[in-house]
């Protein structure tokens, strides 16, 4: 299992992070293929229908690594079945980093895949890959990421707290009012 945590860096959108996690998972398949001295194989990407687009990204990853892929060839000697088991994005509750600071939210992205290599005349080899990426980003950035594009890597963003947003202006106006009252009170004495 891989777990990565970061805070306040250059935030990536959900789609970019998902592709990064998928490529990290493909690296495990790459090591499995290399350990079995395989350079040509039939690749089958099995996932929920909404993630089928990412099969071409996975295909391109292996082509860039120098593999030859025979798509849909049933009699291929080597077959790699890449199963996307689960993918999830969860957001924490929005909170302020300081009293007058920006509204921040934690994003937790998890991916689970199982890759099975079926090599002719050999037993099946299988790898399970679990990855979790957690980061903290500005609430406004998170809403931009959630509202941009039609990618299937989205989730409901919790609403911003109303009370804390109202409290700051009330405190600022109240403080100014108290300063003015004290100024005139001290001045009149």
DSSP 11-37: PPPHHHHHHHHHHHHHHHHHHHHHHTT
What is the model's pLDDT at position 6? 44
Question: Looking at residue 102, what is its pLDDT?
Answer: 81
**Given this model, what pLDDT does residue 76 score?**
83
The span from the CA of 23 to the CA of 63, in Å, is: 13
Which pLDDT value is given to residue 3?
44
pTM, entire model: 0.74
Q: Which pLDDT score, from 0 to 100, does residue 42 have?
A: 92
Residue 11 confidence (pLDDT): 65
Tens digits of residue pLDDT in 55-91: 999 999 999 999 999 877 777 889 999 999 999 989 8
Return the pLDDT at 7: 45
Distance CA 130, CA 153 (A): 17
pLDDT of residue 166: 64
pLDDT of residue 187: 78
Q: Would you state the pLDDT for residue 103?
A: 85
pLDDT of residue 9: 55
Q: Which tokens belong to 119?
A: 């090599």
Phi and psi of 158, rounded to 5°?
-60, 150
> Exposed/middle/buried for 43, CB within 10 Å: 0-12, 13-18, 19+?
buried
Domain 2-155 -> CATH class: alpha beta
* Domain segments of the chain as ranges: 2-155, 159-189
Q: How far is 118 from 77, CA to CA, in rounded Å?
A: 8
CA 38 vs CA 65, 66, 106: distances in Å: 12, 11, 41
Residue spans of the chain under pLDDT 50:
1-8
Q: How far apart are CA 188 and CA 165, in angstroms?
A: 36
């Amino acid at each position: 299992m891989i777990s990565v945590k970061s805070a306040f860096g250059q935030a990536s959108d959900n789609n970019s992070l998902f592709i990064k996690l998928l490529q990290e998972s493909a690296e495990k398949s790459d090591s499995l293929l290399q350990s079995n001295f395989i350079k040509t194989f039939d690749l089958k990407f099995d996932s929920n229908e909404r993630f089928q687009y990412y099969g071409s990204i996975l295909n391109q990853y292996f082509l860039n690594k120098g593999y030859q892929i025979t798509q849909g060839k049933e009699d291929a000697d080597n077959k790699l079945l890449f199963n996307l088991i689960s993918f999830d994005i969860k957001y924490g509750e929005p909170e302020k980093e300081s009293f007058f600071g920006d509204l921040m939210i934690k994003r937790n992205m998890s991916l689970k895949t199982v890759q099975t290599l079926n090599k002719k005349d050999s037993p099946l080899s299988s790898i399970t890959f679990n990855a979790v990426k957690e980061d903290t980003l500005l609430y406004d950035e998170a809403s931009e990421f959630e509202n941009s594009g039609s990618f299937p890597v989205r989730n409901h963003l919790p609403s911003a707290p109303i009370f804390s947003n109202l409290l700051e202006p009330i405190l600022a106006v109240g403080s100014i009012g108290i300063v003015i009252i004290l100024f005139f009170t001290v001045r009149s004495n």
